[in-house]
Structure 1
Amino acid sequence: MHKAFFGDRERDFSLTPHLIPELEKLTGKEITAIVESTRSMGLAEMVHTVRLGLIGAGEHPKEAAELVQTYLNAHPLGELHLLALDVLTDLWVGPEESVFREATDDEKVDAERRVNRAARSAVQEAAATGDLSAAINAGAA
């Protein structure tokens, strides 16, 4: 089970094995192809992964669809991508063991600032050089 803030509060996500056929049907890819191509996931794959992760964690299917539709545009695409990656990682390798302490709020804010600075730097470099792949690759890392 993966916990993440999505929409208006922290929610549980779990892409359970019984939902894999639905994800494969919706994306037209087998689960191994989805997992192997996570760095280049399309928007539909991200949306379906997050929606099915909500359902697998107990959210009603209609509510899960409404949440994804409502909050898709409220979050940067990179956040949706990372959430989809976390959901797929939990499916593929199992949930992360709690062997590390939870980061403090200050540590979380600091980490978020570092990520945002790196992303801004990559975008500025891309603007200066015309190399958009640098910004895209930095955002996917």
Structure 2
Amino acid sequence: MTINVRAFFGDAERDFALTDHMIEELERLSDAGIGLIYRRATAMQFGLKDITETLRLALIGAGTPPEEAERLVTAWCRNRPIAETLPLALDVLDARWSGAPAKTSDAA
């Protein structure tokens, strides 16, 4: 199992990882613990910041420079239909909560 997610976001496949440091920042920005953030997301009681900051911080956690992560979220998440970005935010939170299957190489 892994906490990493690889998914198409915007115009390319990208890596997302909600690391411990990024969770602490998400908690600070959301004024809520990770359990409440996860519960709000899964119960459809989230705030917009729960989605945008989860994705921005998970991009940074996976190695995207902060400026690039902000640019990507601004271009592909803000002022877009929530239905486009909520599934990815849930995947990122689920991977951190329960783990995601590790990807295996197709090469033999």
Same-fold status (TM-score > 0.5): yes
Say if 2:52 and 2:78, in contact at 8 Å, map to a contact too. Answer: no
Q: What amino acid sits opposite 2:46 in the alignment? A: M
Determine which structure has more spread, i.e. the larger CA radius of gyration.
1
Structure 2 Cα separation of the partners of residues 31 and 97 of structure 1: 23
Q: Conserved in 2, the CA contact under 8 Å of 1:50 and 1:84?
A: yes
State the match for 1:47 in structure 2: 52
More strand by share: 2
Amino acid at match of 1:12: D
Question: What residue in structure 1 maps to residue 37 of structure 2?
Answer: 34
Structure with the largest fraction of helix: 1
The total of aligned residue pairs comes to: 99
Between the aligned residues of both structures, percent identity stands at 44
- The answer to which structure, 1 or 2, has the higher relative contact order (CA under 8 A, 6+ apart) is 2
Return structure 1 stretches of 4+ with deviation > 2 angstroms.
Answer: 73-76, 96-99
Question: What is the TM-score when the length of structure 1 is the normalising length?
Answer: 0.65
The residue aligned with 1:87 is 92
Q: Given the two structures, how large is their TM-score scaled by the length of structure 2?
A: 0.83
Question: Aligned residue for 1:10?
Answer: 13
For structure 2, the 5+ residue unaligned runs are none
Q: Does the CA contact (< 8 Å) of 1:17 and 1:91 recur in 2?
A: no
